[in-house]
Structure 1
Amino acid sequence: MNVGCACDIYGGRALAREAGGSDLTEGRGSVTERKLIIFTSIYRRDFYKILGVSKSASVRDIKKAYRKLALQLHPDRNPDDPTAADKFADLGSAYEVLSDDEKRKQYDAYGEDGLKEGHHGSHNDIFSSFFGDFGFMFGGNRQGQQDRNIPRGNDIVLDLEVTLEEVYSGNFVEVVRNKPVAKEAPGKRKCNCRQEMRTTQLGPGRFQMSQEVVCDECPNIKLVNEERTLEVEIEQGVRDEMEYPFIGEGEPHIDGEPGDLRFRIKVMKHPVFERRGDDLYTNVTISLVEALVGFEMDIIHLDGHKVHIVRDKITKPGARVWKKGEGLPNFDNNNIRGSLIVSFDVEFPETQLNDNQKEGVRGILKQASVQKVYNGLQGY
């Protein structure tokens, strides 16, 4: 007799219905002398949909999507949403799998069932690798600590060199940091959490008053270096000297909270392009023949695409061509882009002309002599 079985995979209960019948029998353990057809409905998560990316998304796209959604879905930002913790956990699981090449291959081939058990890391660790200590991120906690005069460790500012290619396309940079972390140690320690005034008699009519640390209840603490990998997003159009903060990732304080770590952007010089705001400038050297008769050429842009330039008229030294929309993306609105400005230099030939050739050039150009002496700097 065939029996259909609908299983509650969380409660460990099995409800069996005989084929062709309507009675449900509840059982625990094995069912004997019956062949069971098991119908299981398992909730399968689509990690690509959770992150809102396509199946062809690059690792950079995945990191960018996680960083954006993590701020929106963090439970501390959604205290009235009972599902916030689950959404945040799903987001962390999706990022953990899709940002790892091997796990992603397994997931693409076999789904979540194909992943090895125990693959899930801490979702808060993932979050802190992008933003710093999540405990200070929301609810004004950091400002509140300052108002209560809780001591803080020093902030750290590190210069982060980025290429112009990264400014154009965006990128994520992994920074490995050895961070000193306060750990409990055996014994007690002196601290600044409680002080009292002590009076000492120095002689007849002479006293000395001083503050003294008297707390003997604080546990001893030692600093231990821990390796942390931080993900710094280089956003499209990022400007020189901009800073990316990582809350609580600065120097520790034995009696308070750690300071912050800030990465200060330093855009490196580029051999081909120069940045001025959102515009890009470059120089092209052409031959005298090209300057006179025209030319076509391609400029390889920062992301590898080609910018085609056509000149069918005389190009004078110092002439400029403006290619709108071929500059850098604006930091505040990536849909707006600057221009690419191309300036031309003309290289003259080393070949010396004979008299007949000189006359031929004069006959072709029909240009009278222009010998004007003037102050090209206009007095400055």
Structure 2
Amino acid sequence: MAKRDFYEILGLDKSADAAAIKKAYRKLAIQFHPDKNPDNKEAEEKFKEAAEAYEILSDEDKRARYDRFGHAGVGQGAGGGGFAGGGMTMDDIFSQFGDIFGETGGGFGSFFGGGRTSTRSRGERGSNLRIKVSLTLEEIAKGVTKKIKVKKQVGCDQCGGSGAKDSSSVSTCNTCRGSGMVRQVRSTILGQMQTTTTCPTCNGSGQTIKDRCTKCKGDGRMYAEETIEIPIPAGVEAGMQLSMRGKGNAGRMGGPAGDLLINIEEKAHDDLQRDGMNLIHDLYLNFADAALGTSVEVPTIDGRVKIKIPPGTQSGKIFRLKGKGLSNVQDYGQGDQLIHVNVWTPKKLTDEEKRMMESLRTKENFHPQPGKSDRGFFDRMRDYFKG
């Protein structure tokens, strides 16, 4: 099922500023928060939907790509496809956007009564990875799944990413009592204000480690090569960036992984050039074929096709092959293939060819007259070449 427009989800138009986006998201998050709507799947989906919209529109770079390319520009095709946003969980939302209510005192949890400390992500989030993927026009036209080998930080296979030597080496943090967060109350002119911050003792993991893993030295990560399948939708463009949630570097001490950012590059095609959704082919004809008409084969993204060149075709004429271009990345239609005609003029002529051209130039009846039919001219030229 196709995703809804992010501006529509938040009830905004495309000119909305950052403050309006934050305000709209905050309103929806309060309305559909799980603590206010227990066991309500519809409210939970709307809560996630609003968070996905805010994730993109609150980031200037992601918003610019979304405005230009739609969901595919931020790696969010229909159904998510494993890209950022499509696989967002409740843990992701509370860990990433929980502080949006910080000004009310204490984040999501304290705002709604403090019932969601269990959603706190453990450890530190891993960093994002950025790669380039070069695609042929054929791959762009059809869409493709690429298998890419990436060397990155993965969870330690000895300790399972915990960073501890064994289970007996792990204990609950005494400072935060396992929540990963600490609350502070301070007095202001408006009264007492409560804030929630990451625990300084365990760095948000909720645990302390007595004996560290000997393989990863307590980090919970190690370097390894991983093969990742990247589904790329049809119609992507050079410069577009896709992202895959959780496919970046593993987090420290069991923290969530970062994202994999995929920058799209296009390989040059031997016969076709891209112009948005359209493809362009330069067709070179000799003077006789342009004057007399002919049939020629031209390359397309689906193979060669034959087209008819009518008599009297002029240099600069453009033929259009409907629907032979590229699909729009947002499924808004299909482009065409444009064939630009260039009448080729030879640079070198044999003596016989020079005499032929001179003969044509001196014959007055071989010069078409403006405003009159060229039919007689072409007939005489055909007879001349046949003779």
* In structure 2, distance between residues paired with 1:141 and 1:271: 48
Return closer, same or farther for 1:348/1:216 CA change in 2, 3 Å cut-off. Answer: closer
Deviations 1:201-225 (A, max 9, x none): xxxxxxxxxx984874366334223
Kept in 2, the 8 Å contact 1:330–1:337? The answer is: yes
Kept in 2, the 8 Å contact 1:194–1:213? The answer is: yes
**Mapped pair 1:217 → 2:209:** yes
**Mapped pair 1:159 → 2:158:** no
Kept in 1, the 8 Å contact 2:243–2:260? The answer is: yes
Please, what TM-score do these two structures have when normalized by structure 1? 0.50
Deviations 1:104-144 (A, max 9, x none): xxxxxxxxxxxxxxxxxxxxxxxxxx73899x924333222
**Mapped pair 1:177 → 2:173:** no
Q: Please list every run of 5 or more consecutive structure 1 residues that lacks an aligned counterpart in the other structure.
A: 1-78, 81-129, 197-210, 370-380
- What's the CA shift for 1:333? 2.1
Q: Which residue does 1:345 correspond to in 2? A: 342
Give matches, 1:1-380, under 5 Å: 131=82, 137-148=87-98, 151-183=124-156, 184=159, 185-186=164-165, 213=201, 216-217=208-209, 220=212, 221=218, 222-255=220-253, 256-304=255-303, 306-333=304-331, 336-349=333-346, 350-351=348-349, 352=351, 353=353, 358-361=358-361, 362-367=363-368
SS of equivalent to 1:272? coil
Q: Please list every run of 5 or more consecutive structure 2 residues that lacks an aligned counterpart in the other structure.
A: 1-39, 42-80, 100-120, 177-181, 183-198, 213-217, 371-387
Q: Relative contact order (C-alpha < 8 Å, sep 6+): which is higher?
A: 2
Return closer, same or farther for 1:238/1:212 CA change in 2, 3 Å cut-off. Answer: closer
- What's the CA shift for 1:291? 1.8
Counterpart amino acid of 1:365? F
- What's the CA shift for 1:302? 1.9
Kept in 2, the 8 Å contact 1:301–1:307? The answer is: yes
- What's the CA shift for 1:321? 1.2
- What's the CA shift for 1:159? 1.5
Higher helix share: 2
Superposition RMSD in Å: 3.8
Kept in 1, the 8 Å contact 2:152–2:223? The answer is: yes
* In structure 2, distance between residues paired with 1:307 and 1:240: 27
* In structure 1, distance between residues paired with 2:174 and 2:364: 95
Deviations 1:257-307 (A, max 9, x none): 221112121122222111111111110111121121112111122232x33
Return closer, same or farther for 1:311/1:356 CA change in 2, 3 Å cut-off. Answer: closer
Structure exhibiting the larger radius of gyration computed from Cα positions: 1
Please, what TM-score do these two structures have when normalized by structure 2? 0.50
- What's the CA shift for 1:192? 10
* In structure 1, distance between residues paired with 2:154 and 2:173: 19
* In structure 1, distance between residues paired with 2:263 and 2:174: 34
Counting aligned pairs with the same residue, the percent is 20
SS of equivalent to 2:154? strand
SS of equivalent to 1:166? helix
